[in-house]
Structure 1
Amino acid sequence: MPMYEAIEKAIKKMQAAQAQLAEKLDIPAIEALIIVLEALNRQNDDAFNELDQADRKFIRQTLKESDFNTLTPEQKRQVLQLVLVATMQEDKLQGNYQVTPDAIGMWVTFFVEAFLNPQQTSQVLDITVGSGNLLATVNLALQQRGDTTTYYGVENDDTLITIASGVAALLGLDWQLDHQDALADTPDLSDKMDVVVADLPVGYYPKELDAGYQTVVEDGLTHVHHLLIEKVMETLRPGGLGLLIVPAHLFESEQAPQLLKYFQNDGIYFQGFIQFSDKLFLDKQASKALLLVQKPGADAVQAEPVMLAKAPDVGQKEENLNFVNQMQTWLSDNYLSH
């Protein structure tokens, strides 16, 4: 069976089981998906056991017919991503629940692979791991390359971290996941991470924070993504790299001066800012960019020039090839690749 047909079949069967669960148990699609992931992981769920025998048999048989376990890890990731995207749309979940698209994940992965030395043991953190698609994309690519890496994920939403845990288990990935608020009570990962990736949530942080965050504004609430950028820099080892998906207008907001002041005060190396095609976003105001920031120390230097660019559309094959070549030269020139 061609790859796309196998993926399509798995998606349809999983969605059929999910729909049956949502209807019979009268629960949202996202909760039904958690039960599907548990069933695929051969775990019993109390809610599943409430179903009558005929419904349980239908769901087990449907998931068996999905042939999910015969797929490659990357095919499994694609299936899970597409089912997640459909689930988010069905439940009309807020923007911060959205899955990081592959067109963005591939660029994050490109820079991670360039930066990390495959001959050395590395530590990678996703500080807002969500449903786990971005970390899975990076993990599978490094695994295929043969890297020895420890993966960490932090997430404050219990539904999302439950999904991330299920995704990791189904893909055979070993992640150290913490269900915590990364800003308030994250475990001590200070000065340890070689790379931190994140698709940062956008909005205002609603809680009072302990003194010490330089990006906090004096009046009103602070942008949560500014605070998380500061937290990311704390977790990186000297010379470590942050690859953070941020609003494309990051440096145009009224709080941008506070963020830039923090960069200056701590000597943070602002290495690059790569905007993604507007076509990836339904609302141009919600467009994103990839921020490359490096912690001073080790062999880190300020990039010359800072990489300010716009990534080509996914379908522009020649432009993407040229862009990759341009990036590889820039990374090499600025000691950001191995």
Structure 2
Amino acid sequence: MNSTKMEELYTYLDDVALYLETNGEVTYLEGLAEAGENLFRGEVCQSVNPEQKKWLLDKLSSMDLESVSKEDVRKAYQLAVLKGMKGAVQPHHSMTPDAVCLFLSYLVNKVLNKSEEPAVLLDLAAGSGNLVNAILNQSNKSLSAGAFEVDETLLKLAFVSANLQKHELQLFHQDSIEPIAFQEVDLVVTDLPVGYYPKDQIAQDYVLKAEEGHSFIHHLMIEQAINKTKAGGFLFFLVPNFLFQSEQAKQLHEYVKGKANILGLLQLPKSMFQSDQFGKSIFMLQKKGEQTRQPKQALLAELPSFNKKDSLADMMKQINKWFQEELSI
């Protein structure tokens, strides 16, 4: 059987990550970033002994990056990251599922294709960069991006992944709830971290801060995202299904309604999650501006399983019709 380019790249990344984990003082995920760095630079970047260097060079010479498509690079890299995350203990090491990345890319293309101008995208919690890279790969127009990630290992993985896919992606090693120096953008897409934000002093500057105790990080990030979006710009968040059921939900709803038009809430298939409590939805907003208006009818739907091609095609027809009727796109 001929292995595909994606499988060949995955094998290279996995073999080198394992080798560096076994022979060096690095984790599999750190080794994976090193494997990608070697491939991008076309040389061995690690301080290793001659025998190890020969092994790494032999591996490197067996791999031709130019023959692999950007999407295959992303998928091979993502598979290796997923393998590494199974071994990692940090609960925040999780990845936006591939089907969700592609569905969000479809929604992004819907709203961006209305304009001919190049656009700028922002992700406030990039993780290993899978979501932002998927959107850049699928975009039909000139799109550059900025992304923030507080975890150093995930940031390095995102950096190497973007390099291998030749994307114009500015990465920042920073907690994006803190004041950030980044231009206003046309679009925000973020898989929101869920939980409490520990830095109460920084949260004090937010309208959505808690009256007492820690504030919700997912609420603060929505506020930061709206602040960083141009008038008329779009925002897509992956949110927990319980977003509007918490004790601070009323405050969040009123704030969002004041700043943006709520376009819709698309619930992801239940089959994607271990239990209902982990279920997520895509929350769609447009920041208010002179040319914007609140849709007469928000787009509310429960998405069918991404494996059910016919049901999904029907749903996308309905979504296309909604965009045409409500937003003229």
Question: Which TM-score applies when normalising by structure 1?
Answer: 0.91
2:110 to 114, 133, 158: 114
Partner of 1:199: 191
1:71-220 mapped onto 2 (5 Å cutoff)? 71-94=68-91, 96-117=92-113, 119-142=116-139, 145=140, 147-189=141-183, 192-208=184-200, 209=202, 211-220=204-213
- 1:45 is displaced (CA, Å) by 7.2
With a CA cutoff of 8 Å and minimum separation of 6, indicate the structure with the bigger relative contact order: 1
Partner of 2:31: 32
- 1:286 is displaced (CA, Å) by 1.5
The runs of 4+ residues in structure 1 deviating greater than 3 Å are 43-46, 66-69
Code of the aligned partner of 1:77:
R
Alignment of 1:275 onto 2:267:
yes
- 1:287 is displaced (CA, Å) by 1.7
CA distance in 2, matches of 1:66, 1:93: 31
Change (3 A) 1:35 1:237: same
- 1:304 is displaced (CA, Å) by 2.1
CA distance in 1, matches of 2:58, 2:67: 15
Code of the aligned partner of 1:152:
G
Q: CA RMSD in A?
A: 1.9
For the residue of structure 2 that corresponds to 1:41, the secondary structure is: helix
Unpaired runs of at least 5, structure 2: none
CA distance in 1, matches of 2:285, 2:66: 38
How many residues of Structure 1 are paired with residues of Structure 2 in the alignment?
327
| CA displacement 1:147-203 (0-9 Å, x = unmatched) | 1222111222222222111111110111122222211121143xx211100111111
Question: Which TM-score applies when normalising by structure 2?
Answer: 0.93
| CA displacement 1:262-283 (0-9 Å, x = unmatched) | 124x242111111111222234
CA contact 2:186–2:229 (8 Å) conserved in 1: yes
- 1:27 is displaced (CA, Å) by 2.1
Unpaired runs of at least 5, structure 1: none
CA distance in 2, matches of 1:44, 1:215: 48
Instruction: Tell me which moved more, 36-45 or 85-94.
Output: 36-45
| CA displacement 1:109-159 (0-9 Å, x = unmatched) | 1111000135222111112122111111111111xx2x1222111222222
Change (3 A) 1:34 1:336: farther
For the residue of structure 2 that corresponds to 1:152, the secondary structure is: strand
CA distance in 1, matches of 2:61, 2:296: 54
Code of the aligned partner of 1:128:
A
